[in-house]
Amino acid sequence: MEDKATTFGANPEGLAELLGLGVAADDPGAEQPDRAKADLLRARLAGTMPLDVDVVDALPAILGRLCRQLLPLEGRPLGEVLLSPQTDRATIETIKDYGKGLAGRQDGEVEHSVAVVIYFAAIASALLFHDRKISSYSYRALAESFDALVHMPWMAPEIARHLAQARQLCRKKAE
């Protein structure tokens, strides 16, 4: 499949703005949101992915048939699952969709930024562990997004390394 070198007219700056990743370096209050983002990211990575609200509401009806598919992380922390080469592609796609869903909610900049990290970390996992692109973004656009995230001052170091590896892979594939 040929990689498209387009982001439908959006440049890297526009993508960063769209994703809510802009950082106001001159803003003296920028440290507080950065700390809040770092804290929330750590909490999300340490926690498990919750079941969908509709699934939870339906549990009494399907309790007898509850299966592993409803618990894609099997109780393991989200960060561990994202960084594990043994994580299957279906689980990675579930996490990507989870991140995308979180990013689409109107819960504020801190929550949105953390959701975007989860989304892109899942895309990075599919690239690195399964050699699959689970996004319509071009390799060039993905490399630019990974680069923007890697340079966030609040980024968890293990996720930054993960995204940096995916950035390198995308740069090679974009050549």
What range does the domain containing 145 cover? 36-174
* Residue 50 covered by a domain: yes
What's the pLDDT tens digit per position in 91-116?
Answer: 899 899 989 988 888 788 999 999 99
For 34-91, how does the pLDDT look when each residue is reduced to its tens digit (9 = 90+)? Answer: 999 999 899 888 887 655 545 444 554 444 444 444 455 667 889 999 999 999 999 8
Of 171, 165, 161, 145, nearest to 12 (Cα)? 145
Share above pLDDT 90 across residues of the chain, in percent, rounded to a whole number:
50
Q: What is the pTM of this model?
A: 0.71
* 8 Å CB contact between 142 and 170: yes
For the chain, how many structural domains are there in total? Answer: 1
Q: Is residue 168 part of a domain?
A: yes
- Give domain status of residue 48, yes or no: yes
Q: Specify if 43 maps to a domain.
A: yes
Residue 18 lies in a domain: no
